[in-house]
Structure formats: structure tokens, C-alpha cells
Amino acid sequence: MARLASLVIFIAAWHIASDLAGEQLLPAPITVASTIVAEARSGVLFFNLAVTLTRVFIAFALAMAAGTAIGLLMGRVMLADRLGDPWLIVLLNLPALVIIILAYVWAGLTEVAAILAVTVNKLPNTVVAIREGARALDRGLDEMAQVFALPRWKILRHVVLPQLAPYLATAARSGLSLIWKIVLVVELLGRPNGVGFEIGIAFQLFDVTRILAYAMAFVAVILAIDILLVQPLERRASRWRPRTA
């Protein structure tokens, strides 16, 4: 209910702001909505959304998998942490744009370069989050697993990953939002399709309606993913926690 109210207030504020600023700078919500419908009818919207989403998911999966592995290693092995830490700081502070341009220069304007650039941008955040989680792993449970001689994969699945779940959820949440922002830049700079490419064209034509239409459509998709996928997964992962009143 509160969420709905906040949505209504947002649209009302947008409408008023659009009246004040003029259609040219800020088109009214209804104008944007009708553009979304028109783009959807022609199929262009869905094609571009699908292309962008595919890139988001591939980069997301790669960054989460590699980041979790590296983060665990750095959190558990002192030497790995010492060796990896400077790299991590460099990657964390390297601007996304630099990574993207270098990837395109070195690997050409290809799909691989695009996805790699996005993955490398997200990787250090995942590593930092998971490393924090790995440092906080319960030593008592480690010892328990050791004396009962649990095989490695069982330790990972039943002892380690459940402890990392909150850290993985944080990394996934911030990861999804970060990645889709970077994917748009990558598409703008070197891809012939996707939401970022469309927004680039709209920018050249000063078509604010189109920019907003694509942005809104994509935000809706990400919101749906969060509600339909991320939140149920989180609930499932924390079902063992005693309910608080």
C-alpha cells in the first residue's frame, strides 16, 4: 500500500515538473508511456531489452562466480590476500570508462570485449564483499567439519556457502544495479544494439521521451527481477533464522 502511494506521488511530481519544464526537456509520464507502448508494438523494445539483459546476465554470472572464488581464497589464505590486495585496489579505483575503452582498443569492438569489460568492472566489488564474508566464517564449524571428515564439496555447500549467503545477496543486489549501468555505457560506445545503443541515438536526436522510455522499461524489468527472483531467494536462504516478532 505504502509502495503504491509512493509510486503515485512520484508520477504526480513528474507530471507537475513536466508542466513547469516543458515537454521538450521533460516529457509528461503519459507521453513516455505511449512511446513505450509504440516501441513495444514494433518489437524493437523487446529486442533491445533482451539483448541488454543477456549481456547483463552473462557479465553478472561471470563476475559473481569469479568474484566468489577469488574472495573466498583471499579471505581464507593470508598469502593470497597479500598478493591480491594491490590488484584489488587498482581495479576498484580504475574508472569504468578506462576499462571499457581499453577492452575495446585491445580486443576490438566485439561482444567478448564488451562483456569482459563489464565483468572486470563488477569483479572487485564481489571480491571485497565475499572476502569480508570469508573472514567472518565460523572457525568452530570449520573444526566440526574437519573432525567429522566432511568432503570438500559438502563443506562448501553446507558449511561455507550458507554463511556467505548474506554477503552473496549484498553482492548480487549491488551487482545487478552496477552492471546494468555499465552495460549501457558499453553499448553506447561500441555495440550496434541494446538499450544503451538506443539511448545513444536518442541523445543525438535530443529525444528525451525515448531516453526515458527505455530507461523506465529497463528499470521495470530489473524491479521485476528483484521482486520475483532475488527476494524469494533471500527468503529461502534465511528460512532457518528464528522469526523476529
Partner 1 sequence: MSDARPAGDPGRLEVRILRKAFVAASGERAEVLRDMTFGLDRGLIGVLVGPSGCGKTTTLRIIAGLDADYQGTVVRPAVGRLGVVFQEPRLLPWRTVEDNVRLVAPGADPAKLATLFDVLELTHHRSHYPGELSLGLARRVALARALAVSPDILLLDEPFVSLDEALAARLRDELVTLVDNRTLTTLIVTHNVDEAVRLADRVFLLSARPARIVVEVPIPIPRAARTAGDIASIKAELARQLGAATGMPSTITSNVQRW
The residues binding partner 1 (CB under 8 A) are 140-141, 143-144, 146-150, 154, 158-159, 162, 240-242
Q: Which is nearer to partner 1, 96 or 237 (CB)?
A: 237
Give the ranges where 77-148 is alpha helix by DSSP (H).
78-93, 96-107, 111-135, 139-147
CB of 141 to partner 1, least distance (A): 6
Least distance from partner 1 to the Cβ atom of residue 78, Å: 17
Give the helix ranges, DSSP H, for the chain: 2-21, 29-42, 44-76, 78-93, 96-107, 111-135, 139-147, 152-154, 161-190, 195-204, 208-225, 231-237
Q: Which is nearer to partner 1, 135 or 154 (CB)?
A: 154
CB-hemisphere CA count at 13 Å for 241?
12
In whole angstroms, the minimum distance from the beta carbon of 153 to partner 1 comes to 12
- Supply the minimum distance, in Å, between the C-beta of residue 70 and partner 1: 24
Whether residue 58 contacts residue 66, with contact meaning beta carbons closer than 8 Å, is answered with: no
Cα(237)–Cα(245) distance, integer angstroms: 19
For residue 11, the minimal CB distance to partner 1 (Å) is 41
C-beta of 161 vs 222, nearer to partner 1: 161
- How far apart are alpha carbons 102 and 46 in whole angstroms? 30
User: Residue holding cell 528460512?
Assistant: 239
**Whole-number Å distance between alpha carbons of 67 and 126:** 5
Question: In the bound complex, what is the minimum distance in angstroms from residue 143's beta carbon to partner 1?
Answer: 5
Q: Which C-beta is closer to partner 1: that of 204 or that of 244?
A: 244
How far, in Å, are 114, 125, 171, 214 from residue 174 at the CA level? Answer: 20, 9, 5, 21
Nearer to partner 1, 86 or 151 (CB): 151
| Side-chain-side CA neighbours of residue 107 (13 Å) | 15
Radius of gyration (C-alpha) of the chain in whole angstroms: 22
Nearer to partner 1, 20 or 240 (CB): 240
* Amino acid type, 51: V
Tell which residue, 187, 156, 185, 209, has the closest CA to residue 34: 209
Nearer to partner 1, 154 or 173 (CB): 154
Taking the complex as a whole, the smallest distance from the CB of residue 132 to partner 1 amounts, in Å, to 19
